[in-house]
Chains A and B, each alone.
Chain A
Amino acid sequence: MSIEQMKTKSRVKKLVREKQKERRQKQHIGLKTSRIVSNTIIYIILVVIMVVWLVPFFFLLMDSFKCDIAADGETRVTWQSDTIIPKKFGFDNYVDLFTKTKFPRWFINTTLVGLACAVLQTTMILLMSYALSRLRFKGRKFLMNFMLILGMFPGFLSMILLYKLLSDWGLTQDNSIFGLILVYCASSGMGYYISKGFFDTIPRSLDEAARVDGATRAQVFSKVILPLSKPILIYTVLTAFMAPWGDFMFASYIAHTRDVGKNVAVGLRDLISTASGMADHYTWFCAGGVIVAIPITLLFMFLQKYYVEGVTGGAVKG
């Protein structure tokens, strides 16, 4: 390579470098403006999303306070009213709900079922997921595959048999909360996935260290792992407690049109399931919805951290 060639080469390099620098500066300014533009667009989108997600609840709240009287001065306007904000505020719907329907009973039913589920389901899931995650035994893989296949059957069909059995034992209709607790909890061990995902992440060296020190497997479970699993326990308790509040299918099948045995979902839905029900009780339904939503939302707000951890950590592995 001659000196001449080298010189031209270095000159070209210099030129290229300068050009690049220039371009980068331009880009930087361009990036800044484009980032501002894109961020503003995103803010607008986010605000729209929040409005879309919150508006139904706002409407629900407003409807629950609606005590509008129709033009004839007698009949109550329920869901045909054409204003969003009530013309006349009042707690009449709430009062009516508590005095004229069995709502208090439905609420107590659901709370009891929820509490029982929180305890029983958590126990079942904890036992199952711990055994499948941290113990190795013959038939473990088979068991997991077996449960996977079981989960592919529509669970509702089991009600054909279970309803007959439960009603033979007197656990349906008026006593349906006991039947419901059994149906929800008995086979809840099958929902072990998220909890198992959590146990899988705890290092095995912990177990081994405890075993070397002479702990039995039961002691490893109760003294080493259990104290570490607070987050997943709270997550499981929270989801187990909340599930019965939304269940409709099993609850309506077991309550079988008996008012006393319904949960809030079935009770409130049956209020407005007919056209005349819609006309008479729509605002009651809204009031009921608000009353149900408040305690659950508060509970959720306090424990949100654990819920988020559970979903972001465990659901992905499931």
Chain B
Amino acid sequence: MKKKEGLEYLKMGRFARFWYSIWMFICSMPGRIVNLAKKIWTAIKKAGIWIYSEVKDIIMTFVHGDWKTRTSYLIMGFGNIARGQVLRGILFLLFEAAFIFFMIFSGAHWLSLFGTLGKTEQGRHYDEINDVWVTSEGDNSFKILLYGILTLIFCACLIYTWRLNIKQNKIGQQLEADGKKLKSGKDDLRSLVDEQFHKTLLALPLTGILMFTVLPIIFMILVAFTSYDGVNNGFSKLFTWIGLDNFNALLTLADSSGNSISYTFGEVLTWTLIWAFFATFTNYFLGMLVALAINKKGIRLKKLWRGILVLTMAIPQFISLLYISHMFDKNGMVNNVLVNLGWITDRINFWENGMTARILVILINVWVGIPYLMLMITGVLMNIPQDLYESAKIDGANVFQQYQKITLPYVLFVTGPYLLTSFTSNINNFNVIYLLTDSVRANAKLTVNGQAVKDTDLLITWLFNLTTGATADYKLACAIGILIFIVIAIISLIVYNILPSNKNEEDFS
């Protein structure tokens, strides 16, 4: 297929366009990779130039600086205080004092052990005098890793603040030489509700995100390169850096006989992607159909239909999911009804067989997801300009043509980004899988190191079981977590590139 332009592209049908854009994306891959390499190279060059100019600026400020500026190189904030910006100066000074204090009393210790994650094991020796076993405290790898990260972050903060301090001195000196007035502490405080208002707003949420998301993610990424698990828990037995071993275990090509980590990983990953695909698209299209049915002209009691479906969303998922899961049990309601009706004689064990369990999970997920989709698509449908339909009617388009040419493209266009986010959240859809498949049996072929894995397990539920099970294989869970991230990032990148929202923007404007 060669490149098509203008009219030729417009002549194609919707599906042809879709395939065409995917094909073009694949064709453009080599070019993209070259581009990416170029971009990385220019970024490196830019970074080099930036560092050079920063260092130069630091040196030049020192050379041209007066005694206030030069003292600030050692005592942060000195220049600010000397020039009357007491508030800023004190903050700088306090930060430096805190840093020095921290480094002397604990930071240096953590950093020195960071390379090995601890040397002295916890020891046990027999105390003959008191006739007891005494445990001598050793290093704690977990703490060393955590505080090592924190110390490194602290160091980076110090370098940043030190640079800021020098910049401010430079500006201050300049203003002083020009005979202008410097900003006072009062001005600084006032700007926090005006020019710098975003800092006031973002301070709390960003602190939370740094503490509870960024720090744990850095920690998690590092754990993936260590031997941290239930046995080597860093306390009674130390753990240490092991490089890429965890990823090797996950990604080495396995034979299809099973019972190896990489085989299980391959199977679970495949099912996760299949699940995410079906869960997203079945929900999406069936939800759209229900929305269309309810919003069709001439259908009465619209509010009632919508209201009932919306209300089912109010009931917490765990109740409905657990209940429905047991409805399909061997002794559950569905089998009871079927037997009583005389349709079957032998009770069906839906959860026994991997295949029926998988199909059932997808079907029940439709039940879970349709109300939300119905609601969202109703909102989109109401925004479609009605004159589009009227002119289509005058041109003699029937209902299906209208759907195909107006409704579907419009809805797809508006909800394109939603489809992507829902796909990625389905990859991590813990609740539906975990609560529904409580009674599914583990697949013997997928079981590794005594860790049971079911046919229906997604990466996220596998990961949950890995971290909560008896073996508590944190290192493997973290490596899987990083691989989930890579999968999601790649899919997002591809979809963003072929999403209609990016290309045919003028179609509906």
Interface residues of A (CB under 8 A from B): 35, 39, 42-43, 45-46, 49-50, 52-54, 56-57, 59-60, 79-80, 82, 84, 123-125, 127-128, 130-131, 135, 137, 140, 143, 147, 149-150, 152-162, 164, 182-183, 185-190, 216-219, 221, 242, 245-246, 248-249, 252-253, 264-265, 268-269, 272-273, 278, 282, 285-286, 289, 292-293, 296-297, 299-301, 304, 307-308, 311-313, 315-316, 318
Contact = CB atoms under 8 A, between A and B. Distances in A.
Interface size class of B (residues with CB under 8 A): 35 or more
Given A42-B299, A160-B223, A218-B194, A293 B376 contact: no
Contacts of A135: 197-198, 201
Contacts of B293: 42, 45-46
Contacts of A147: 209
Given A149-B489, A216-B194, A278 B326 contact: yes
B177 to A, nearest CB: 27
B376 A297 contact: no
Q: From DSSP, what is the main secondary structure of chain A's interface residues?
A: helix
A26 B298 CA distance: 21
19 contacts: A39-B298, A46-B305, A49-B290, A53-B312, A123-B204, A128-B205, A131-B201, A149-B489, A150-B214, A156-B430, A160-B477, A164-B142, A189-B205, A216-B194, A218-B193, A249-B431, A265-B316, A300-B311, A301-B314
Given A160-B223, A304-B310, A318-B421, A297 B197 contact: no
Given A128-B202, A160-B474, 5 more contacts: A57-B320, A190-B213, A218-B194, A307-B310, A313-B379
Nearest to A250: B430
Contacts, number: 256
Contacts of A278: 326
B209 A150 contact: yes
Contacts of A308: 310, 375, 379
B474 to A, nearest CB: 5
A183 B209 CA distance: 10
B211 to A, nearest CB: 6
B292 to A, nearest CB: 9
A292 B311 CA distance: 14
A152 to B, nearest CB: 5
A269 B430 CA distance: 15
Contacts of B214: 150
Contacts of B132: none
Nearest to B324: A56
A282 B307 CA distance: 30
A125 B431 CA distance: 24
A182 B212 contact: yes
Contacts of B435: 248, 269
A289 B314 contact: no
- 4 nearest interchain CB pairs? A312-B379, A189-B205, A158-B216, A300-B314
Interface in B306-331: 307-320, 322-324, 326-327, 329, 331
A46 B484 CA distance: 39
Contacts of A52: 367
B481 A54 contact: no
Contacts of A57: 312, 315, 320
B273 interface: no
Nearest to B315: A293
A160 B219 contact: yes
Given A82-B336, A157-B481, A293-B319, A54 B463 contact: no
Interface string B208-243: 110111111101100100000000000000000000
Contact of B299 (A39, A159, A253, A286): A39
B468 A292 contact: no
A246 B194 contact: no
Nearest to B201: A131
B375 A187 contact: no
B205 A59 contact: no
B171 interface: no
